[in-house]
Protein backbone atom coordinates (compact mmCIF):
# COMPACT_ATOMS: atom_id res chain seq x y z
CA UNK A 1 0.00 0.00 0.00
CA UNK A 2 1.29 3.44 -0.94
CA UNK A 3 1.98 5.90 1.88
CA UNK A 4 0.53 9.37 1.52
CA UNK A 5 2.59 12.37 2.50
CA UNK A 6 1.09 14.36 5.30
CA UNK A 7 0.52 17.99 4.47
CA UNK A 8 0.72 20.70 7.06
CA UNK A 9 -2.28 22.98 6.82
CA UNK A 10 -1.28 25.83 9.08
CA UNK A 11 -2.20 29.47 9.20
CA UNK A 12 0.23 32.27 10.05
CA UNK A 13 0.12 31.44 13.75
CA UNK A 14 0.63 27.73 13.11
CA UNK A 15 3.57 28.38 10.83
CA UNK A 16 5.16 30.68 13.39
CA UNK A 17 4.80 28.02 16.09
CA UNK A 18 6.16 25.31 13.77
CA UNK A 19 9.29 27.32 12.92
CA UNK A 20 9.76 28.34 16.56
CA UNK A 21 10.14 24.69 17.55
CA UNK A 22 11.84 23.47 14.33
CA UNK A 23 15.29 24.68 13.33
CA UNK A 24 17.83 23.68 10.71
CA UNK A 25 20.42 24.00 13.48
CA UNK A 26 18.90 21.29 15.68
CA UNK A 27 21.23 18.72 17.23
CA UNK A 28 22.38 16.05 14.86
CA UNK A 29 22.42 18.23 11.79
CA UNK A 30 25.79 19.25 10.50
CA UNK A 31 26.26 22.76 9.21
CA UNK A 32 29.14 23.51 6.90
CA UNK A 33 30.48 26.79 5.66
CA UNK A 34 30.47 27.57 1.97
CA UNK A 35 33.12 29.57 0.11
CA UNK A 36 31.47 32.20 -2.08
CA UNK A 37 33.23 33.76 -5.04
CA UNK A 38 31.98 36.64 -7.10
CA UNK A 39 33.20 37.70 -10.55
CA UNK A 40 35.26 40.82 -10.82
CA UNK A 41 33.25 43.84 -11.93
CA UNK A 42 33.49 44.46 -15.66
CA UNK A 43 33.55 47.72 -17.54
CA UNK A 44 31.74 48.33 -20.77
CA UNK A 45 34.03 49.23 -23.69
CA UNK A 46 32.77 50.39 -27.08
CA UNK A 47 34.57 48.85 -30.02
CA UNK A 48 33.96 49.79 -33.65
CA UNK A 49 34.22 46.85 -36.03
CA UNK A 50 33.56 46.48 -39.73
CA UNK A 51 30.22 44.85 -40.42
CA UNK A 52 31.81 41.80 -42.08
CA UNK A 53 34.21 41.28 -39.14
CA UNK A 54 31.35 41.40 -36.65
CA UNK A 55 29.31 39.01 -38.80
CA UNK A 56 32.21 36.52 -38.86
CA UNK A 57 32.76 36.77 -35.09
CA UNK A 58 29.05 36.14 -34.50
CA UNK A 59 29.12 33.13 -36.85
CA UNK A 60 32.12 31.59 -35.06
CA UNK A 61 30.58 32.29 -31.64
CA UNK A 62 27.29 30.69 -32.63
CA UNK A 63 29.16 27.60 -33.82
CA UNK A 64 30.78 27.35 -30.38
CA UNK A 65 27.51 28.02 -28.55
CA UNK A 66 28.77 31.32 -27.13
CA UNK A 67 27.68 34.93 -27.17
CA UNK A 68 29.86 36.93 -29.55
CA UNK A 69 30.97 39.35 -26.84
CA UNK A 70 32.01 36.42 -24.63
CA UNK A 71 34.08 34.99 -27.48
CA UNK A 72 35.79 38.33 -28.13
CA UNK A 73 36.54 38.71 -24.40
CA UNK A 74 38.05 35.21 -24.39
CA UNK A 75 40.21 36.02 -27.43
CA UNK A 76 41.47 39.27 -25.90
CA UNK A 77 42.26 37.54 -22.60
CA UNK A 78 44.13 34.72 -24.38
CA UNK A 79 46.19 37.22 -26.37
CA UNK A 80 47.03 39.23 -23.24
CA UNK A 81 48.19 36.05 -21.51
CA UNK A 82 50.46 35.27 -24.50
CA UNK A 83 51.87 38.81 -24.51
CA UNK A 84 52.67 38.58 -20.78
CA UNK A 85 54.66 35.35 -21.24
Residue 22, in any domain of the structure: no
pLDDT at 7 over 90: no
Residue 53, in any domain of the structure: yes
Residue 41, in any domain of the structure: yes
HEC per residue, 8-35? CCCCHHHHHHHHHHCCCCCCCCCCCCCC
User: What is the structure's pLDDT at 35?
Assistant: 85
Domain boundaries, position 66 = 37-85
Answering whether pTM is above 0.85, one says no
Domains contained in the chain, number: 1
Residue 73, in any domain of the structure: yes
Contact 31, 25 (CB under 8 A): yes
Residue 56, in any domain of the structure: yes
Q: CA 21, CA 13: separation in Å to the nearest integer?
A: 13
Residue 15, in any domain of the structure: no
Residue 29, in any domain of the structure: no
Contact 57, 72 (CB under 8 A): yes
Residue 24, in any domain of the structure: no
pLDDT in tens, 19-45: 777 766 666 667 677 888 888 888 999
CATH of the domain at 79: 1.10.1220
Query: DSSP 3-state assignment of 48?
Result: coil
Question: Which DSSP category does 41 fall into?
Answer: P
Amino acid sequence: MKKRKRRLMLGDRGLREYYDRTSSLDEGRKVRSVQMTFPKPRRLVALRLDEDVLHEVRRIAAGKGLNYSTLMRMWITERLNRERA
